[in-house]
Amino acid sequence: MAILVALFIVVPIVELYVIIQIGSLIGVWPTIALLIADALLGSLLLRHQGRDAWRRFNTALAERRFPGREVADGLLIAVGGTLLLTPGFVTDIFGLIFLIPPTRAIVRRLLRGYMGRRFIVVGAPGPTGAGPSRQAYDFDATAEEVDAEDPRLPG
């Protein structure tokens, strides 16, 4: 909680300082133009990378594999796009890091390492006692009653 409060106080102060310093070097109007161009370029990059991540996500689902990498990319792209649309040069640097594929891969690897240390994935044995259960659970409340003697049901 203290980290978030510090970020919400420190980041705007740092952004204002950098904007003022750049404005004093190149002038007010070029600085404003640079910030606007930066936001426009960021929105275009966000759209392109977002479409690509969405396509890869759907491909992973069509191939019936877990889309963990694609979900992580989508999250990083959303955060990077938000940072690029936020006025400021420091947030733009981090936004570009999250949006450009090679640097996004590095961030994704760092996050995977962090999450791997923070969380433990536990699998329960299935009905036969060997490996996780293959039973599909319905979490969307779209279940329907079926005959227990149906030969298509796993048994």
SS3 62: helix
Q: pLDDT tens for residues 26-53?
A: 999 999 999 999 888 888 988 998 899 9
Q: pLDDT tens for residues 101-124?
A: 899 889 988 988 887 777 776 665
Task: Select the more confidently predicted residue: 99 or 134.
Answer: 99
Q: Is the pLDDT of residue 77 over 50?
A: yes
Q: 101-118 and 89-99 are packed helices; what angle lies between their axes, rounded to 10 degrees?
A: 90
Q: How far is CA 11 from CA 18, 33, 90, 97, in A?
A: 11, 21, 8, 17
Q: Enter the pTM of the model.
A: 0.69
